[in-house]
Amino acid sequence: MEKFHSTVSRRDFMKGLGFAGAGIGTAAAASPVFHDLDEVLSSSTGDVKRSWWVREVDEPTVEIDWNVINRFDARYTAHSEAIMGRYFGLDEYRQSLQFSYYTGNKGPKVIDAIENNTPGDNLLGAAMNDASFSGLARYNSTLKWHGPESTLTPEQRGVPKWQGTPEENTRILRAAMRFFGAHDIGAAALDEKHKRLVCTHPQFVSGSYINSWPPPDTVNKRIVFEDADQGYSTNEKFVIPTKPMWAVSYTTPMSREMFRTAPSGLRSAANAMRYRNRGAILMETQNFVRALGYQVLEEPYPCIPAIAGAILTGLAENGRNGGFCNSPDFGSVNGYYDLITDLPMAPTKPIDAGMWRFCHTCKKCAEACPAQAISMDSEPSWEPPKSRIIPKLPPLNPSIPDPEFHQPGKKIMWHDAIACDAYGNSQPYHCGICMGTCTFNTNTGASIHDVVHAVLSTTAVFNGFLWNMDKTFGYGLAEGAERDRFWEMSLPQYGFDTTIGAADGGYAHGGTRF
């Protein structure tokens, strides 16, 4: 933000918003009243649960029709080779792959970029990507539905299991998971509504089953509910007990600077890191909760769609691109996962920070999308549109409404997942341009961001002004040699600010919780 400090004063910025003489509180009547920016910067949030400009609400800012939502079969997502093969023809699709979650980065474009020393995609970028994915594979190979079970249970110790209130349990689990590497958690009772989010099967299906659909449950296990005390898995199913259970969403941030190099090996490495970190966080959380006398279930991806869980538990708001959501703390560059536990939790509410409203007028990600996969509509819709890619093969299951890759029941700007994944898989390191260029992919060190967040949370009047400020300050994608500036930067460990959300031990970060 050096460019900001050298060109715009705090007072001039406030004048640009029309706040001069009126006080920030004039445009933020629903939030604490501040008379100038210095009061904002010196304010203390004490024990408030969230940043002062983030409001908790009873319903998420995106509209949901629970009468329409039913359990989704994730075998029909664009991440399944069988679905992509249906749209493009299996042989044609496989021949187009430069990037694949199945085979890694083996396309000729990878070699060309290395030989041409392309910034972000040269040998350094390739090495970062491959190293990050190797760590991901190591953790994923050891994940189990019920965890590693390598800690003693209270029964094995000969002591009673932990007995805490739901509020205590939520606070304790947040503290533990934050230590294990998660940024934050949200919780919801696994009631009749939330159960509708649990997928019937995980994603990733080989195209080899196109002509023998559906694949056997030994290939993609069913996710079922049974009258059992403990969750378990067999060769054909993952079992969730029907007794009271809670869904916990958790976040794993990523490097904003690396995402600004998209599409590149550096960006891909940053994206792989959230999966790698998830493996450690999940296994340690499973062992921690086991040692308290309870269970944590999670292995197949997705069990609960990550974006849905994050929005309903208040970790994020919906975004224009249905492929990601926006965190008040980390913007577009944040990873989300879910687990299921019988440790009683206190539900956390959805939030309103003005981000979803901002997405209605901001079309920056849609304009930047090379696949034209992000909606340019100004208003959300209930109706999921078909892909602009005309499928070459008939539906795998004719009883499922077209488009089969969308889950209806929400009023959003729908993105074309088929076109998105097809473009990404044809590139050396997938894509990520939308997340890298997002207006919310800004750093937190500059004090003015607290003001911007406060304005967004209360009014849409200044959205256009703030969108242009984002361009003026030089946020967005790095170009040319700037993509290799990563190697000269002095960034925090893991590439993101781990002090966000901290207020104890001398790590206080303005405006955030704890």
Angle, alpha carbons 283-284-287 (nearest 5°) = 90
Burial of 235 (0-12, 13-18, 19+ CB in 10 A): exposed
Say what the pLDDT of residue 446 is: 39
Q: Please measure the distance between the N-terminal and C-terminal CA atoms of the chain and give it in whole angstroms.
A: 26
Instruction: Give me the chain's average pLDDT, please.
Output: 85
Any idea how long the chain is? 514
Is-cis flag, bond preceding 398, omega within 30?
no
Say what the pLDDT of residue 215 is: 96
Residue 38 has pLDDT above 80, yes or no: no
Q: How far is CA 155 from CA 147, 150, 151, 160, 307, in A?
A: 17, 14, 11, 7, 36
Phi first, then psi, for residue 275 (nearest 5°) are: -70, -40
Say what the pLDDT of residue 452 is: 55
For 5-67, the DSSP string reads HHH--HHHHHHHHT-TTT-GGGG-TTS---SSHHHHHH---TT-SS-TT-EE-SS-SS-B-TT
Q: How far is CA 60 from CA 57, 74, 106, 313, 354, in A?
A: 7, 23, 42, 9, 11
Q: Which residue type is seen at 492? A: P
Structure tokens at 180: 């294990």
Residue 52 has pLDDT above 50, yes or no: yes
Q: Which residue type is seen at 400? A: I
**H or E stretch at 3:** helix 2-7
Say what the pLDDT of residue 497 is: 86
Say what the pLDDT of residue 108 is: 84
Structure tokens at 457: 């949370």
Say what the pLDDT of residue 456 is: 53
Say what the pLDDT of residue 182 is: 95
Residue 498 has pLDDT above 50, yes or no: yes
CA distance 65 to 363: 25
Say what the pLDDT of residue 313 is: 97
CA distance 26 to 33: 8
Say what the pLDDT of residue 474 is: 56
Is residue 437 classed as helix, strand or coil in its secondary structure?
A: helix
Say what the pLDDT of residue 105 is: 57
The arithmetic mean of pLDDT across residues 119-142, rounded, is: 85
CA distance 279 to 134: 12
Question: Under a CB-based contact definition with an 8 Å cutoff, are residues 62 and 311 in contact?
Answer: yes
The arithmetic mean of pLDDT across residues 480-503, rounded, is: 88
Beta strands in 342-472 (DSSP E): 351-352
Q: Which residue type is seen at 439? A: T
Confidence of residue 506 (pLDDT cuts 50, 70, 90): confident
Burial of 308 (0-12, 13-18, 19+ CB in 10 A): buried
**What pLDDT digit, counting tens, does each position of 226-244 carry?**
999 999 999 999 999 999 9
Provide long-range contacts, Cβ within 8 A and 24+ apart, for 2-8.
3/472, 3/473, 3/474, 4/446, 4/448, 4/473, 5/446
**What b-and-e string marks burial along 68-99, b requiring 16 or more CB atoms within 10 Å of the CB?**
ebeebbbbbbbbbbbbbbbbbbbeebbeebbb
Say what the pLDDT of residue 507 is: 77
**What pLDDT digit, counting tens, does each position of 406-462 carry?**
999 999 999 999 999 999 999 989 999 999 999 888 765 433 445 555 555 455 555
Residue 513 has pLDDT above 50, yes or no: no
The arithmetic mean of pLDDT across residues 184-192, rounded, is: 97
Closest CA to 331 of 426, 449, 187, 169: 449
- Percent pLDDT > 90 in the chain is 66
DSSP state of 260: T
CA distance 456 to 55: 12
Residue 27 has pLDDT above 50, yes or no: no
Closest CA to 289 of 137, 175, 195: 175
Kindly report which listed range (1-10, 77-86, 145-154) carries the lowest average pLDDT score.
1-10
Say what the pLDDT of residue 444 is: 57
pTM, rounded to two decimals: 0.86
The arithmetic mean of pLDDT across residues 372-377, rounded, is: 96
Kindly report which listed range (30-44, 346-360, 475-489) carries the lowest average pLDDT score.
30-44
Say what the pLDDT of residue 458 is: 54
Confidence of residue 89 (pLDDT cuts 50, 70, 90): very high
CA distance 131 to 39: 45
